[in-house]
Amino acid sequence: MEIKKVLRVKVAANGGITADGHPISLEQLSANLVELKQAGGGVMYYRENPEGEPHPNAIAVIQKVSEKQASCEAIGYPDFSDSVDDKGVSHPSNKISRNC
């Protein structure tokens, strides 16, 4: 499946959420995910401090992505230059190929 549009979502350790570098609420994200799915797009998802306990907003973002059935790629670097596989190994990436 070719991804035509990408939404880069970051969740800060303090729970702040940004999409493409702009602050966004969970409600706004939900609406954006509906539009993204209709446009054949996907999410690149980065969470600060992935080794630590996730902020409730990090869990809520993944739940929203799952609810909207959007394609999603977990990212290991805040510049979205890689993807993280099921074993936690980082690989260079510029595409979305699986779900978070």
User: Is residue 61 assigned to a domain?
Assistant: yes
Q: How far is 60 from 38, CA to CA, in rounded Å?
A: 21
E-assigned strand segments in the chain:
6-11, 17-19, 22-23, 42-47, 71-75, 82-84, 90-92
Q: Model's pTM, two decimal places?
A: 0.82
For all residues of the chain together, what is the average pLDDT?
A: 86
Instruction: Report the number of distinct structural domains present in the chain.
Output: 1
What pLDDT is recorded for position 66?
94
Residue 8 has pLDDT above 70, yes or no: yes
In a domain, 99, yes or no: no
* Residue-range definition of the domain harbouring residue 75: 6-92
**Quick check: is 1 in a domain?**
no
Quick check: is 31 in a domain?
yes
pLDDT band at 50 (very low <50, low <70, confident <90, very high): confident
pLDDT reported for residue 36: 93
Inform me whether the pLDDT recorded for 45 exceeds 80: yes
* Residue 76 belongs to some domain of the structure: yes
